[in-house]
Amino acid sequence: MSTTKHLFLAALFAFLLPFAYAQPANDACANAINLPCGTTNLAGTTVGAVSETSPGAGCVSNYGVWYKFIGDGSSTTITVQNVNLDTEFNLMSGSCGSFTSIICLDEYWASDPEIYSFTTVVGVNYFIYVGYFGTTTTTGAFTISRTCLSNDACANATPLPCGTSSLAGTTVGAVSETAPSNCGSQINNYGVWYSFVGDGNNTTITVQETGGFDTGVGIYSGSCGSLTKLYCLDAVVASNPEIQSFNTVNGTTYFIYVSYFDNTANVQGTFTISRVCTAPSSQDCAGAMQVCDDQTMSGNSNGYGIQEINTSNYGCLAGGTSEDEDESSWYYFQATTSGTLEFILTPSDPNVDYDFLIWGPNANCNSLGNPIRCNASGANGVTGMVTLNPSTSAAVTNTTSNPGGTSTWIKSLQVNAGEMYIMMINNFTANSTPFSLDWTFSVPNLLNCNPIPLSVELKDFTGMFIGDGNQLIWSTFTENNNAYFTLESSIDAQNWQMINEQSGAAQSNEMISYEFIDRKFSKNMINYYRLSQTDFDGTTKNLGMISINNTINGKKIKAKYNTLGQIVDDHYQGFIIIEYTDGTAIKKYQ
C-alpha cells in the first residue's frame, strides 16, 4: 500500500474517530442531567464528548459532561467514582454561562472517589461538571451519586412522633457543625437531629447502632441555638442501645442529637431510633395521685418509675446522696383555706422503713427544688408530720428535715388557701409493703377534694394569611387560674419578639376563642408564632408553636417534589420541595 494511501486512511480515521461514539446527551450545560437526592451509582461517560471550554480555568479537561440539581436546604454529598477514567469534578452554583465555583475536586489516587459534602441553599441551582483530571483529550466512564440529609441541622430536625419504631437514621454525609458542647466528648460534630413536642406523658428514646456504628446521644429542651441539656447517653458496650425515659412537659419542644460517641474522630454511620410514649404512673411525679381528706388510705409503693430525685431536690435523703428512689409513690394536695396539716404514715409491716418529702407551695414536677419537709429517719415503722409527738405528747417545733436520725417525726405544715403541694413517699426497705395515711386538719375540709384541672386545656392554635395580615386563633376547653396569654413571633424559630398579650378568663369550664391579627409580619418569609399562658402566681407555660408560610402569597405552585426529585401530591407526608412559577423553591414538612 502506498505511503499516500496510508496518510489518507490515517487522516480519515482521525476525522471519523469522534463519530465512532455517540455524543453524551449531557455534553452541554443546557442539557445537564437532573441529579435528585438518592441517586446511586448513576452510570456516566465522557466518551464522545465534544471539546468545549471547561469551566474553572483548566480545573477539568474540555471533554466533560454536566449534572444539576436545586438546593433544598439539606446537607448533600456528591460522589464521583472512577470506572476507567481518572475523574475530577467542578461544583458550581448559578446558571449556564454565569457560574460561581464552589470547589474543584481531584483525589490523589485515580481509584479513589471524589467526595464532597456541603449544605445547600433553598432554591439555588447547582451544576456539576465531570471530566478527566488533566487537560488532555482523555475520556472514559464513571459513576455519580448524590445523598441528602434533611436533618443535618437543628432547624431541619426530623419529627419523632409517639410510636416511632426503629426508624432508620444515618450520619453519613453530615456536614461538620459545632455539636452542643454540654455533652463533652460523648458526641462529635457530624450528627443529625430529631425533635418532638411534649404532651405531658412519659417518653422513652432508644437509639440502636447498626453496622458497628457506636452512637452518642444528646437530649435537650428549648429551641435551636438556645438548648438546655437534659441527658447525655453513651452505653459502655458499643452494641448496646442508648435508652432514656423521662416525663415530658406539655408544649415543650425536645431535640435529640445523634452522632458518633467520640468527638475526636470523624466517624459516620447508621442507626435506628425509636420513641415510645406512656401515661405517667403514680411512681412518677407527673402521675401523682390527689389526696384530700382525713380518711385512712392504703397504697402500695412498687418500683420507682423514672428516677426524679437528683442533686437539686434530694433534701435529707440518704444523708446527701444525689439519687435515692427505692420504691416510690407520688401524691399532691391543695389547700382550700388556711390551717395546719399533719399526717401519720403506718406501714402494714412495722419492720419496714418509709421516708417522705414534701415540696411547695405551688411546686412543679419539672423544677421541684429543695423540699420544705423531709424525713429520712433510720427507724422502722410509724412515721409522720405532726404537731405533738404521739409517744410523748411533746411539741415537735423545729424539725423540718431529718437526714437519717432515729427520730420518726417532723413538724406539721402551715398551709394557705389555694396553695399546691407535691409529696413523694419512698419505701427505703424496697419490699412493696402497703401503708396507710391518717390525716389531721386544724379546720374541717382543709384540703380540696375536687379534681384540680390544668391551668389551661388548649383546644387548638391555628393561623393563616388573610390578605393584610396573619390571623392567629386559639381556643381553650377550660381555664383555671389563668391570668393572660402571650403571643411571640420569629423568623427563625429561635429569636422571639412579643407581639400581643391578652387577658385570660381566670376560671372557665366553657370553650373560649381568642384572636389576633399580625399586620407587621415579615413578608416573603416563613413566620413562626409561639403561644404561652401565665397563671396569677407568675407561672408560665408554653402552649405550642405554629408557622405561616408568607413566601407563597401571590405565587403559584408549579410542582411539588420529594427529596428524591419525584413529583408528589397534597397527600404525601414528609419533607417536600415546592417549586413556584417564578423560579423560586422552598423546602417544608407536609
185 or 373: which carries more pLDDT confidence? Answer: 373
Give the pLDDT confidence score for residue 338 in this predicted structure: 94
Cα angle 478, 482, 488; round to 5: 105
361 or 144: which carries more pLDDT confidence? Answer: 144
Cα distances from 361 to residues 176, 221, 413, 419, 483, in angstroms, run: 47, 25, 11, 5, 19
- Asked if residue 557 has pLDDT above 80, the reply is no
Q: Which amino acid is at 415?
A: V
Q: Give the number of other CB atoms < 10 A from CB of residue 362.
A: 16
User: From CA 517, how far away is CA 247, in angstroms rounded?
Assistant: 35
Give the pLDDT confidence score for residue 58 in this predicted structure: 67
The strand pairing partners of 458, in sequence order, are 476
- pLDDT, average across residues 147-166: 86
What 451-455 contacts at long range (C-beta under 8 Å, 24+ apart), as own/partner pairs, is 451/290, 452/290, 452/332, 452/334, 452/420, 452/480, 453/478, 453/480, 454/250, 454/478, 454/480, 455/479, 455/480, 455/481, 455/482, 455/533, 455/535, 455/539, 455/541
- pLDDT, average across residues 181-198: 85
Three-state SS annotation for 345-366: EEECCCCCCEEEEEECCCCCCC
User: Quick check: 369 and 389 in contact, CB under 8 A?
Assistant: no
Q: Cα 483 to the chain's mean position, in Å? A: 30
- Asked if residue 508 has pLDDT above 70, the reply is yes
- pLDDT, average across residues 168-187: 80
- Asked if residue 30 has pLDDT above 60, the reply is yes
User: Quick check: 359 and 367 in contact, CB under 8 A?
Assistant: no
Cα angle 546, 552, 557; round to 5: 120
Give the pLDDT confidence score for residue 448 in this predicted structure: 87
User: From CA 294, how far away is CA 437, in angstroms rounded?
Assistant: 8
509, 513, 518, 524 alpha-carbon torsion, rounded to 10° = 110
Q: Cα 584 to the chain's mean position, in Å? A: 29
User: From CA 191, how far away is CA 175, in angstroms rounded?
Assistant: 8
- Phi, psi angle pair for 302, to nearest 5°: -135, 95
User: From CA 257, how far away is CA 157, in angstroms rounded?
Assistant: 9
User: From CA 378, how far away is CA 348, in angstroms rounded?
Assistant: 17
- pLDDT, average across residues 347-362: 90
CATH number for the domain formed by residue range(s) 456-549 = 2.60.40.10
3-state SS class at 91: strand
Kindly list the domain boundaries of the chain, sorted by start residue.
17-149, 154-278, 285-441, 456-549, 557-589
The strand pairing partners of 90, in sequence order, are 104, 129
23 or 307: which carries more pLDDT confidence? Answer: 23
Kindly report the average pLDDT of the chain as a whole number: 83
pLDDT digit string, tens, across residues 537-556: 677 888 888 888 887 665 66
How many CA within 13 A on the CB side of residue 241?
14
Residue in the block written with cell 457506636: 214
**Same topology for domains 154-278 and 285-441, yes or no?**
yes
Least confident of 260-274, 280-294, 421-435: 280-294
pLDDT digit string, tens, across residues 312-331: 888 888 654 545 678 888 88
Fold of 154-278: Jelly Rolls (2.60.120)
Nearest to 172 by CA among 117, 219, 133: 117
User: From CA 288, how far away is CA 86, in angstroms rounded?
Assistant: 68
Give the pLDDT confidence score for residue 515 in this predicted structure: 92
The strand pairing partners of 534, in sequence order, are 484, 540
CATH number for the domain formed by residue range(s) 17-149 = 2.60.120.1050
Q: Which range, 73-77, 187-191, 291-295, 584-588, is most confident?
A: 187-191
**Architecture (CATH level 2) of domain 285-441:** Sandwich (2.60)
- Asked if residue 476 has pLDDT above 70, the reply is yes
pLDDT digit string, tens, across residues 90-128: 999 999 989 998 999 888 888 889 988 888 888 899 999
535 or 136: which carries more pLDDT confidence? Answer: 136
**What sign has the CA pseudo-torsion 273, 277, 281, 287?**
positive
How many CA within 13 A on the CB side of residue 534?
11
Least confident of 122-126, 302-306, 369-373, 538-542: 302-306
**What sign has the CA pseudo-torsion 176, 177, 178, 180?**
negative
Spatial neighbors of 33 by CB under 8 A, at least 6 apart, are 25, 26, 42, 65, 66, 67, 68
Give the pLDDT confidence score for residue 585 in this predicted structure: 66
- Asked if residue 521 has pLDDT above 80, the reply is yes
Give the pLDDT confidence score for residue 126 in this predicted structure: 96
User: From CA 113, how far away is CA 22, in angstroms rounded?
Assistant: 26
pLDDT digit string, tens, across residues 209-240: 998 899 999 999 888 888 888 888 888 788 88
For residue 450 the three cell numbers come to 375536687
Give the pLDDT confidence score for residue 145 in this predicted structure: 92
Cα angle 180, 184, 190; round to 5: 55
135 or 2: which carries more pLDDT confidence? Answer: 135
280 or 420: which carries more pLDDT confidence? Answer: 420
Spatial neighbors of 13 by CB under 8 A, at least 6 apart, are none
